[in-house]
């Protein structure tokens, strides 16, 4: 083959896009990302369970051991109901995840499902956790003797505002970009590049 023929082949190849895709390496990356997402979801669920159960125990301790402030049983019950709701969501999420196959697309869909679950929990955090917590605090402060200082009310309001900000920030900076990346990868795989 002379130089002109090699140049013609080179020019024709240069205009074509050639991809060499290592599917095993890509699958390993998707699995690793999926494990990281699952660790985050599990940490959120377990952390919220611990917070709810510990706060419920704290609220119930005084009426049990001292016989005072029986209205705190209501707050403990609400927190245990939130914990039960978290457990129910966790069981449903894990059952849904068993339906995904062990393939590249299956693992990618599992990771997307986990991100969607985490996004849904973050977007509704103020309803399923902050509202019940606020009601519990409000009831316990209104019924407390002596009345609580305005500084405590201000501190609690600041904690609620900071919690809401942090959850929204995590959603915007972590979960939504992660979802966009996974959806883009899925779209590229389904479109064939």
Provide φ and ψ at 124, rounded to 5°: -105, 10
Give the pTM.
0.78
**Could you tell me if residue 15 is inside a domain?**
no
Indicate the number of domains in the chain: 1
User: pLDDT tens digits, residue range 155-172?
Assistant: 888 988 999 899 999 999
**Could you tell me if residue 6 is inside a domain?**
no
**What pLDDT does 166 receive?**
92
**Could you tell me if residue 143 is inside a domain?**
yes
Confidence of residue 48 (pLDDT cuts 50, 70, 90): very high
Confidence of residue 3 (pLDDT cuts 50, 70, 90): very low
Alpha helices in the chain (DSSP H): 3-15, 23-66, 72-97, 104-123, 125, 131-142, 150-170, 176-191
User: pLDDT tens digits, residue range 76-106?
Assistant: 999 999 999 999 999 999 999 999 988 989 9
**Could you tell me if residue 95 is inside a domain?**
yes
**Could you tell me if residue 145 is inside a domain?**
yes
**Could you tell me if residue 3 is inside a domain?**
no
**Could you tell me if residue 1 is inside a domain?**
no
Q: Which residues make Cβ contacts (< 8 Å) with residue 103, sequence separation at least 6?
A: 27
Phi-psi label, residue 64: left if phi above 0, alpha if psi -120 to 50, beta otherwise: alpha
Per the structure, the complete domain to which residue 51 belongs is given by 23-191
In 10 A of CB 20, how many CB atoms?
Answer: 4
**Could you tell me if residue 96 is inside a domain?**
yes
Q: 146 preceded by cis ω (within 30°)?
A: yes
């Amino acid at each position: 083959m002379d130089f002109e023929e090699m140049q013609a082949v080179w020019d024709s190849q240069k205009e074509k896009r050639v991809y060499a895709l290592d599917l095993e390496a890509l699958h390993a990356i998707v699995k690793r990302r999926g494990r990281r997402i699952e660790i985050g979801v599990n940490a959120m669920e377990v952390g919220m369970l611990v917070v709810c159960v510990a706060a419920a125990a704290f609220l119930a301790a005084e009426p049990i051991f001292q016989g005072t402030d029986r209205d705190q049983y209501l707050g403990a019950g609400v927190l245990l109901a939130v914990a039960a709701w978290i457990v129910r969501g966790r069981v449903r999420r894990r059952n849904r995840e068993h339906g995904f196959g062990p393939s590249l697309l299956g693992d990618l869909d599992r990771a997307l499902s986990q991100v969607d679950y985490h996004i849904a929990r973050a977007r509704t955090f103020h309803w399923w956790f902050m509202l019940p917590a606020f009601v519990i605090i409000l009831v316990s402060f209104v019924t407390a003797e002596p009345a609580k200082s305005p500084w405590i009310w201000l501190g609690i309001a600041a904690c609620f505002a900071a919690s809401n900000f942090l959850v929204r920030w995590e959603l915007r900076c972590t979960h939504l970009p992660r979802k966009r990346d996974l959806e883009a990868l899925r779209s590229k795989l389904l479109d064939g590049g």
